[in-house]
Amino acid sequence: MKLAKNILKCNRNLVLSQRSLATSQKTLAAQTITVREAITNAMDEEIGRDERVFLIGEEVAQYDGAYKMSKGLWKKYGDKRVVDTPITEMGFAGIAVGAAMVKVPIVFRGPNGAAMGVGAQHSQEYASWYSQCPGLKVVSPYSAEDCRGLLKAAIRDDDPVVFLENELVYGSQFPISEEALSPDFVLPIGKGKIEREGKNVTLVSHSKGVHLCLETAKELEQSGIDCEVINLRSLRPLDEDLIKNSVKKTHHLVTVELGWPQCSIGAEIISRICESDAFDYLDSAPLRVTGADVPLPYAKTLEQNSLPQVAN
């Protein structure tokens, strides 16, 4: 699994004592940075902050990481802090588990979900797989702020965290505030964010799917439909209250994800809403928008039609 390519571990004794809330949409951004820069800088700061934090995985050192996600870290910190491994995922995952046994908890981070032109064998969506596991925390960031704040939180967390990235957004630019650029900036795991306020329908998504929802909201606005867009950020724990409160306001729910329909994140969200008091506020049945229930094809046209689009 490509997810296992990068393993970041940190000292168990570090806790989230200085968690910050998400920056408001009204906050003026000082600059823009890419998702790649946000992740690399977060790892850099955390390795520099505590000598017990280290990075291990395939091509993370001398090659600067797959997609250049650890660019410059090996030159800066050396072989003991940034370690290349053979192509033996089970082997270095086992090393990480051993480290966890001596109080150095694990963060597994790496690409997740559909890429582009890499076929089914490199396009697996693991969000629902990992979020089923008791004891794991699972995050799926969307923006540069998400990646920076959640990766720092994951590294400082006492529990094992799976950090699901999407390689298609590594080069995407996002506005970021001065607050989010602080070395002390962290986001609480388990809390989502309302990316766009609305009153007619709630769209819930995570990772790259949030962008799809925001684009959809712009288009529906032309028809007088006001969408509220929720960025989950965290899949386990899930910010159920945020979704429930939104549904009570809009009375409609649509979940959006790039993964498969069966046992999906959307299925879990809809089940929770239907089992809660928010069910009585629904004016219509909740809907799921997902990828097609097929292994992702290699051919470009088939690939595009296997993934959700704004029209869906």
- Residue-range domain boundaries for the chain: 32-181, 193-306
Instruction: Name the strand (E) or helix (H) holding 94.
Output: helix 89-101
pLDDT score, position 129: 96
Among residues 277, 224, 225, the alpha carbon closest in space to that of 254 is found at: 225
pLDDT score, position 25: 43
Looking at per-residue pLDDT, the higher value among 29 and 209 belongs to: 209
Q: Is residue 90 pLDDT above 50, yes or no?
A: yes
Q: Is residue 32 pLDDT above 80, yes or no?
A: yes
**What's the whole-number mean pLDDT along residues 224-249?**
98
How far apart are alpha carbons 287 and 181 in whole angstroms?
37
pLDDT score, position 141: 98
Structure tokens at 32: 């823009």
Q: Is residue 14 pLDDT above 80, yes or no?
A: no
Q: Please, which pLDDT band fits residue 30 given cuts at 50, 70 and 90?
A: low
pLDDT score, position 115: 85
Return the C-alpha torsion angle 4, 13, 54, 58, nearest 10: -10
How far apart are alpha carbons 56 and 79 in whole angstroms?
10
- State the residue for tokens 């629902």: 128
| pTM attached to this predicted model | 0.88
How far apart are alpha carbons 83 and 198 in whole angstroms?
47
The CATH code for residues 32-181 is: 3.40.50.970
Please answer whether residues 58 and 90 qualify as being in contact, where contact means their C-beta atoms are separated by less than 8 angstroms.
no
Q: Is residue 29 pLDDT above 60, yes or no?
A: no
CATH number among 3.30.70.100, 3.60.20.30, 3.60.150.10, 3.40.50.920, domain 193-306: 3.40.50.920
pLDDT score, position 33: 97
Integer-rounded Cα Rg, in Å, for the chain is: 19
Q: How far apart are the first and last CA of the chain?
A: 30
